[in-house]
């Protein structure tokens, strides 16, 4: 279905939003992905992906949580929506299905 499929990086960001549960914003997502996947990310890419996800309705956002580090500026905090959770479940189910379908012989 158009608009509901997830790109690889989009899925990663959406998962991070779910993991961070309420404290998901640009920097925290970036650090999480960097730590877990050991790849470098650019903060602007994450922002762009977050806006795309919000447009698709998988996350919602609000401003809040200013800190001194940020010079008193608000964060845009993202939360996963039900649709977001559903699309994650969907892609996980698809993967599991395909995993199970792999004949064992291929790993020898």
Partner 1 sequence: MKKIAPPRWADIFLEWYCSKDYIEEVQGDLHEWFLHRVKRQGLTTARLLYFIDVIRFMRTYRLKSIEELSQHSNTAAMFNNYFITSWRSLVKNRTFSAINIIGLAIGMTCCILITLFVQFELNYDRRNKNADRIYRAVVDLQANDWAISAFPLGALLKENFPEVENFARIKPVEPFVTNEEREVKIKQKVFYADSAVFDVLDIELISGNVETALVKANTMVLTEERAKAFFGDEDPMGKTLMMEGNQNPFVITGIFKPLPSNSHVHIDAMASSLSFAPMQPDFENPWGYLTNHYTYFVMPENFDHEAFGTKVSTFLDEYHELTPDDPRNSITFQPLTSIHLHSNRGLEIEANGNVNTIYIFSAIAFFILLIACINFMNLSTAQSLRRAKEVGIRKVVGSKKGQLVFQFLSESILVSIFALVISVGLILLIVPEFNEISGKQLVINPMENLQVVAIFLGITFFAGIFAGIYPAFFISAFQPVKVIKGTYLGNAAGQYLRKGLVVLQFAIAFVIIVGTYVVNSQLDFMLNKNMGFDREQTLVVRMPSDSIGGHMIKNELLKLSGVHSITRFNEVPGKMVNTSTVWYEGAERDQGENVYMFSGDPDLPQTLGMTMLKGNYFTEDTQQFYREFVINEKAVEHFGWTLENAVGKLMNFGGRSEEEPGMVIGVISDFHFKHLHEVIDPLVMYLEPQYEGRHMGIKINSGDLSQTVSAIKSRWEELLPAYEFQYQFLDESFDSLFDQEKRLGQMFGIFAGLAIFISCLGLFGLAAFTLQQKKKAVAVRKVMGASISSIVTMTSKDFLKPVVLGMLLAAPVAYFSMNTWLQGFAYNVGFNLIVFVYALAVGVGVALLTISFHCFKAAITNPVDSLRNE
Residues that bind partner 1 (CB under 8 A): 25-27, 30-31, 42-45, 47-48, 51, 63, 66-67, 69-71, 73-76
**Are 75 and 62 spatial neighbours (Cβ–Cβ below 8 Å)?**
no
**Are 60 and 54 spatial neighbours (Cβ–Cβ below 8 Å)?**
yes
Identify which of residues 64 and 86 has a Cβ nearer to partner 1 in the complex.
Answer: 64
Please state the φ and ψ torsions of residue 99, each to the nearest 5 degrees. Answer: -60, -45
CB of 85 to partner 1, least distance (A): 24
Identify which of residues 63 and 94 has a Cβ nearer to partner 1 in the complex.
Answer: 63
């Amino acid at each position: 279905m158009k608009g509901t499929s997830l790109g690889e990086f989009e899925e990663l960001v959406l998962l991070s939003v779910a993991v961070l549960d309420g404290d998901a914003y640009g920097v925290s997502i970036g650090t999480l992905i960097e730590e877990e996947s050991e790849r470098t990310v650019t903060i602007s890419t994450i922002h762009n992906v977050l806006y795309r996800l919000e447009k698709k309705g998988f996350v919602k956002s609000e401003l809040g949580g200013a800190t001194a580090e940020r010079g008193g500026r608000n964060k845009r905090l993202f939360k996963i929506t039900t649709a977001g959770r559903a699309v994650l479940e969907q892609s996980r189910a698809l993967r599991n299905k395909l995993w199970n379908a792999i004949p064992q012989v291929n790993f020898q």
